[in-house]
Amino acid sequence: MRRRAVLTLPLTLSANPANGDPRKENLFSMFIAPCCWRENLLAHHSPKADELRAEINKFIEQGRTDDQIRQSLIGQYTTRILAVPDGEKGQWLTWTPPAAAAAGLAALAIFIKRSIHPPAPATHTANLPDLPDSDWN
């Protein structure tokens, strides 16, 4: 009996809490679990995340729209409950990682190019004045 419980535990933890429902998957991925503020409700497994998923399921059964559910949860937990913040903060989260990756790749390409083909040493004779040979003695 104990062996059976051990074998079914990983299956229970990896199961999709939305049970394949696209609306629930969208809603669960929209909110972060308020117990640790690290994972969205689709991936997080904790009693608090289970409570919040049950509350969302209750809202769906009551016929609330996604926006009404969103506003209700923001009212309870503030905007911190959102996995991707609205407005400027959301834009920063969306565009900063790709921009940083592109800048890093560009810097790496420049570094590799310079290490393969080092620049020629500079000469200092280009700015000497034109003087007659008699003034050099």
Task: Tell me, yes or no, if the pTM score tops 0.75.
Answer: no
Q: Write out the chain's pLDDT in tens, 137 residues.
A: 444 444 433 444 456 666 778 888 888 888 888 888 778 888 888 899 889 999 999 999 999 999 999 999 999 988 888 887 775 665 666 677 888 898 999 999 888 888 888 777 766 665 666 666 665 55
Assess if residue 136 is contained within a domain.
no
**DSSP structural state of residue 35:** T
Write out the two tokens for 47: 């009693």
Assess if residue 61 is contained within a domain.
yes
**Is the domain of 79 the same as that of 89?**
no
Q: Which of 41, 64, 83 is the last residue of a domain?
A: 83
**Is the domain of 8 the same as that of 42?**
yes
**Is the domain of 71 the same as that of 89?**
no
User: What total of structural domains would you count in the chain?
Assistant: 2
**Is the domain of 40 the same as that of 52?**
yes
**Is the domain of 21 the same as that of 77?**
yes
Counting every residue, how long is the chain? Answer: 137
Amino acid (1-letter code) at residue 134: S
**Is the domain of 105 the same as that of 89?**
yes
**Is the domain of 89 the same as that of 73?**
no
Write out the two tokens for 23: 């609306």
**Residue 43: domain span:** 2-83
Tens digit of each residue's pLDDT (9 = 90 or more) over 83-104: 877 756 656 666 778 888 989 9
**Is the domain of 67 the same as that of 98?**
no
Contacts of 17 (CB under 8 A, 6+ apart): 24, 28, 41, 42, 53
Find the CATH number of the domain harbouring 74.
1.10.8.640
Assess if residue 77 is contained within a domain.
yes
**Is the domain of 76 the same as that of 113?**
no
Tens digit of each residue's pLDDT (9 = 90 or more) over 34-50: 888 778 888 888 899 88
